[in-house]
Structure 1
C-alpha cells in the first residue's frame, strides 16, 4: 500500500507497507481519493506542531470512498461506494468531556495525522460514525469539509449576533472558514493579515467590510480609526502566532470576546488588570463536532457554500515530497493545496 510518512521534520518519504484490511464490527474501510493540506501539516513538517511525535503519516482532510463495511454497520445509512468526508477526531466516548457531549475535546482524543497515523495512504479503517456521506458532493469538496468545520465550530463557540463587530486575524484557510460562517450571522467583518494578496482574496470571496494590512506598530488607536471609532466585539485569532495572539487582547472592545482558533507551543500572557477592566472573555476552540460536518455538507449541497475558489494548488500523491517545500514559500500564494490519489 502506497503511503507517505514524515519521518522527522522536513523529511517526507514515499513507502510501500503492509495493510491489514480486516474490519472490526463497527468499522468501515475507506479508499482515499483526496487529501487536503492544512496548517497542522505545515507545522508538523517544520517541527512546530503541538501534540505530535515522529514518524507520522499526516493527513486528516479527506475525501474518500467506502469500499467495505463491518458486520454491524447499518447498511441503510452507509453503503459500499458512498463518497464521504472523514471526521478525524477519534474520541473515547467514556471520559467526562464525551459524557457532556464535548467529543471534540475528549480527554483521550486521537486525531488522525497528529496522535495516530492519518490519510496520506491508499486505505484507512475508521469507525463508521466518523464518516459523513454525500450523494451530491465530489471528493474535493468532501476533503474541504474538515477545514470548514474548524471555522464553523469556532463561530458557534462565539455565539455571534448581527450586532457584533467581528475581526478575524489571519486570512489563511482557517481564518477564511471562520469568515464563511460569521457571514451567516450578518455581522460586520474586518480581516487582518500581513499578506495583501490574502486580504484581497478574502474581500473578493466574502465581500468583507474592512481589510487591515497588519504591521508591527499597528495600534488600538489605528484599529479604532479603521473601524470608525469602535473596536471589535469578537476577535478570532487564526494565526497560531504568539505575538498576534497576545496583542489581540488590546484590540477587544470592552465586554468583548477573544477566541483562539490557532495555537502554538508556548505560554500566553496578558495584563490581568486590563483583562478584568474590559471584562473580556477568552475562549479556545478545538476541532469540531459531528453536527458541524452534517451542517456543512447540507449547506454545500444546497449551494450556500462555494469552495471552488479555495483550491489553489494540486499535486499527485507521489509528488508530495517534491512539491511540499514550494507550498511553504509565501510567493506561491497557497490558500488550499490538495493531493489526488487514484
Structure 2
C-alpha cells in the first residue's frame, strides 16, 4: 500500500474485514473504517497479515479465550495513516497485538505480555485482517530495513524468541522442540542461534522434511522414534512444546532429562496430567511462555535484518485479501505442507 492508495474518510467509510462468524465459518464482512483514534493511539493502514495456528484454532472452535464473531488477524504490518506522537504518515510499522492495561501486577513488573487484563488483537478484541486498525502507539515498532511481508512475520517469530528467552542459557544444551509448525520452527531457529543442539519432534513427516530441507535441521524425529528410548534415553535439557495438544504435552514429560526445563509455548483447553514422582526426581521445571515482549520483537527484527532468519523460506504463500475467504478452509486443512500464509491487503 502506498500513500496515494491509503483510504481516507472522503474515499470510503466502510472496509472489508475477515471474520470468523462461528466455528467453521469465515467470511469477509463490511465494517466501519476507523477515522479517529483515542489519545495515545494511532490509526494504521494494514499492509499484510500472517495467518497462524491461533486463527485456525478460532476457526475450529478450539480457542479458550474467544467469543464469536471475531475479526481475526494479529500478525500485522502496516503504515501510519495519520501522523501522531512522533510517527510520520506512511511509516512502515510492526504491530505488537498485545494490548495491556499498564496497571496490573504483571504490567507493573514489566511483564505486559501476561497482563491480567490483556486484550490481544484478533482474540479478545477485533483483529487486523481489514484495511485499518487503531492501536496504542506504544505497541508500534519501526520496521526499518524490513519489507511489508517480513514485518508481518515478526510477531509469530517473537513467540518463539520469547519462549527461548524463558528457557535461560541454551548454549550446548540438548533441546527438543515438539511441533514443527510455524511457532515450533521459530522456537527451533532461535534456540539454534543461542547455541543449542536442536531436535524436532512431530507426527507429520511432511513438516519434518520441510524443516530438514529449508532450515537444515538434521535431528528430526517422528513420535515413537526408537532413538528417543535409545541413544537419547537420558532425555533433553529443555523441551519446548508447540503442538497445541494436551496429549503431546503429557508425552513429553518422560523425555525430560534430570535437571531439565519444560517450556509450554502452546495453549490447550484440556487438563494436563503427569506422574509427579517421575517429574519430581528430575527436579524439572515447568515454564509457561505467553506472547512476547518488546525486547523479543526487537530480537526478531535484528535477526531478520542480519540475515539470520530466512523469511523467504518461512513464507509459503501470499494471498490477496479478496480471495482469502474462499481459501480459508483449504488453508486450515493443509497445515502439514504450509508454514506461513500471508494475506496482502
The answer on 1:38 being equivalent to 2:52 is yes
Of residues 219, 223, 240 in structure 2, which corresponds to 1:210?
Answer: 219
The offset of 1:199, in angstroms, is: 0.9
The offset of 1:270, in angstroms, is: 0.8
CA offsets 1:291-317 (integer angstroms, 9 cap, x no match): 111121122122222211111122211
The offset of 1:332, in angstroms, is: 6.6
The answer on 1:262 being equivalent to 2:266 is yes
SS of the equivalent of 1:300 reads: helix
Long gaps (5+) in structure 2 = 1-14
Q: Are the counterparts in 2 of residues 23 and 69 from structure 1 also a CA contact under 8 Å? A: no
The answer on 1:308 being equivalent to 2:317 is no
Q: Are the counterparts in 2 of residues 179 and 206 from structure 1 also a CA contact under 8 Å? A: no
The offset of 1:326, in angstroms, is: 0.9
SS of the equivalent of 1:15 reads: strand
Bigger drift between 284-293 and 326-335 goes to 326-335
Partner of 2:144: 135
Instruction: Point out 4+ residue stretches in structure 1 off by more than 6 angstroms.
Output: none
Within-5 A mapping of 1:1-342:
1-70=15-84, 73=85, 75=86, 78-214=87-223, 218=224, 222-227=227-232, 230-330=234-334, 333-341=337-345
The offset of 1:24, in angstroms, is: 2.2
Long gaps (5+) in structure 1 = none
The offset of 1:203, in angstroms, is: 2.1
Q: Are the counterparts in 2 of residues 188 and 209 from structure 1 also a CA contact under 8 Å? A: no
CA offsets 1:50-97 (integer angstroms, 9 cap, x no match): 101101000000111111134xx1x2xx22111111100000000000
- Aligned residue pairs: how many? 331
CA offsets 1:136-161 (integer angstroms, 9 cap, x no match): 21110000000100000000000133
CA offsets 1:264-321 (integer angstroms, 9 cap, x no match): 1111111111111111101110000011111211221222222111111222112122
Q: Are the counterparts in 2 of residues 21 and 125 from structure 1 also a CA contact under 8 Å? A: no
TM-score computed with the length of structure 1 as normaliser: 0.93
Q: Distance in 2 between matches of 1:164 and 1:291?
A: 23
Q: Distance in 1 between matches of 2:231 and 2:332?
A: 31
TM-score computed with the length of structure 2 as normaliser: 0.92
Q: Distance in 2 between matches of 1:138 and 1:238?
A: 27
Instruction: State the superposition RMSD in angstroms.
Output: 1.5
SS of the equivalent of 1:233 reads: strand
The offset of 1:222, in angstroms, is: 4.2
The offset of 1:224, in angstroms, is: 3.8
SS of the equivalent of 1:30 reads: strand
